[in-house]
Amino acid sequence: MFGYSDILWDFRLLCRHTRWRPLQKVLVWLYDVAQFFGGGWISHEAEFSGKPCLPHGVRGVFISRYARVGKNCVIFQQVTIGSNLLPDSPGLGAPVIGDDCYLGAGAKIIGRVTVGHHARIGANCVVRESVPENGIAIAGAPVVTARETPNNRFYTRHRGRWQFFDDGRWIEERDAAVLERLNGSFP
């Protein structure tokens, strides 16, 4: 995983699936210490459908223990996916993030909201209401829905070739139209 080591991810899964309580407590403590030094916190109890792509690591990322995150999500630095635990609040609950979502730097998704599959949340956007599938939320603007499913893959150039993150692996891009756009913007 780019920016978030496979070792830390596997350790998170070990914490989540260890059933012997004394061992789990020690593992969770070690996991929390490791995250402290990384500058963020992703609960071992949060539900993920697959490894997220964290381009800048766990720095400043907070994901609540009650959150649910789909597969192939791109989560940039300083993102909060937080629960609202205020009993008298209409937003009481935890976020559900769909598959293939793109969460820009500093995005805050708080409370009982659903972010649909293939949605994009812009940098520094605060989401307090649900975003539909293919929805695009930008700070200070109403949510819009894309006509076509947006390509929310995270790309990087490695050894001169463009790759994207998919299901915990890096895959070389072969679509000529995508390569033309990437190479045209990043010669």
Residues 39-67 have pLDDT tens digits of 888 999 999 999 999 998 888 999 999 99
Q: Which of 21, 18, 75 is nearest to 44 (CA)?
A: 18
Q: Structure pTM?
A: 0.87
- What residue spans define the domains of the chain? 6-145, 155-185
**Stretch 138-153: mean pLDDT, rounded?**
87
Level-2 CATH architecture, domain 6-145:
3 Solenoid (2.160)
| CB-based contact 132:143 (threshold 8 Å) | yes
CB contact at 8 A, 184 and 162: no
pLDDT in tens, 67-93: 999 999 999 999 999 999 988 888 999
d(CA 102, CA 119): 6
Tell me the backbone φ, ψ of residue 37, rounded to 5 degrees: -75, -20
What angle do helix axes 21-38 and 6-17 make, rounded to 10 degrees? 150
Residue 1 pLDDT grade (very low, low, confident, very high; cuts 50, 70, 90): very low
Taken as a whole, the chain contains a residue count of 187
Beta-carbon contacts of 51 under 8 Å, excluding residues fewer than 6 positions away, are 1, 9, 71, 167, 168
